[in-house]
Structure 1
Amino acid sequence: MGVLFFSWYDADQARDNELMLEPLGLHHAAELALQYRDPTIAQLTRLPEISNVKQAQAFIQDQQSQRHIMAVLHDNFGLVGVVSIEPLTDSFSGLPGLTLSETDTDSAGYFYFWIGTDYQCRGFGTRAARLALTQARKMGLKCLYTSVWGHNSHSQRVLGKVGFSGFADGAAGDVFDVQRELYFVVSLIE
């Protein structure tokens, strides 16, 4: 099946050798369900659990209506993960302490990513995040925000490699505490 067309998607800036991003579509549902099968992914991303193709299809439809969501595809392996960019709006409430008076909602977004069960710790997260940041720049965004749980060292490492820096954290406690949320921002201005 061909790539879905979205005005925000720049296919020319969506490839890094054998890895590419494309808008997530229903034709990705079976692979998404397979790679998302580890319940830890849902816990770390605060996304719903997905255990079958029907749930994956519902997830894709829901996500498409709210944000710019892309499949991370490998030429040999197929779908290896997902990246998402949600432009900030007046209704965005994802980051405590960030008030809309502090940022221009037309130029900031919220970013998340996950890499599938079979493909973690292979560098795909870092490469996919870099491609997503390029897409965000093409969308006209000037900065992206994100958050991760304190014990999610893999995501923290990826975020650091692509230029995110911490700006606040959630509940007090040990940095590796499961309940501690860390907040990050990256400037997209070159």
Structure 2
Amino acid sequence: MSDVLAGSVSIRPLAVSHAAALARAYTRNRAYLHPWEPRRPDAFYTAEGQRERLAASMAGQAAGLNFFWALFDGAEVVGCISLTDIVHGAFQNGHVGYWIAQDFQGRGLATAAVGFVVGFATRLGLHRLQAGTLVHNAGSQKVLARNGFEEIGLAPQYIMIDGSWQDHTLFQKLLHD
């Protein structure tokens, strides 16, 4: 399955066969993503490291607990988006996370990808989506707002980013009334 998001960029489910392309994308964007992500071991930036990571992720996907997509420009990965930590039952909730390559910023790709995942989550029957951003990540906050997410509060020392516990602004989108 592949949906066109904008121009030549499409979104496809990630598979273990995408490991080399994903490693190239992370390597190209390593310095750019550094202040926004956890610290990564050098193996993360290799095809083998990505193969291991993707193989582990596929187990959660097979169980319906996590879903992962990549944004492709031709054969090259230019971003990723995920729907993780899915809980069914009384909660019906999931978390959205994403990144877009530095040289593909400003094209509406993150907004389109989040919209894609909102539609996917709605079809799954989820009631609510959550997302968190670093408090100073105005660009990501705009992406979420464009997709109908509302700010719900501050989570102090929420995630270890770039080696230190960072505060995050939390957002939610209710999918069903």
- TM-score above 0.5, yes or no: yes
- 1:82-106 per-residue CA deviation (whole Å, 9 max, x = no partner) reads 111124349xxxxxxxxxxxx933x
Which runs of structure 2 are paired with 1:12-161 in the superposition (5 Å)? Answer: 14-16=3-5, 18-37=8-27, 38-41=30-33, 43-46=35-38, 48=40, 50-66=44-60, 67-74=66-73, 76=74, 78-89=76-87, 104-105=90-91, 107-161=92-146
Paired residues in the alignment total 160
Name the CA distance, whole Å, in 2 between partners of 1:120 and 1:62.
Answer: 29
Q: 3-state SS of the aligned residue for 1:132? A: helix
Q: CA deviation digits over 1:99-154, x for unaligned, max 9?
A: xxxx933x211111111233223221111111111111111112101111112222
Partner of 2:174: 187
Q: RMSD between aligned alpha carbons?
A: 2.7
| Fraction of identical pairs, as percent | 22
CA gap of 1:63–1:117, structure 2 versus 1, over 3 A, is farther
In structure 1, runs of 5+ residues without a counterpart are 1-10, 91-102, 173-177
Which AA in structure 1 matches 2:10? M
CA distance in 2, matches of 1:131, 1:113: 12
Q: Distance between the aligned counterparts of 1:47 and 1:104, measured in 2?
A: 34
1:15-52 CA-partner distances (Å, limit 9, x unpaired): 44544322101221122112222145365244745322
Assess, with a 3 A threshold, how the Cα gap between structure 1 residues 165 and 45 changes in structure 2: closer, same or farther: farther
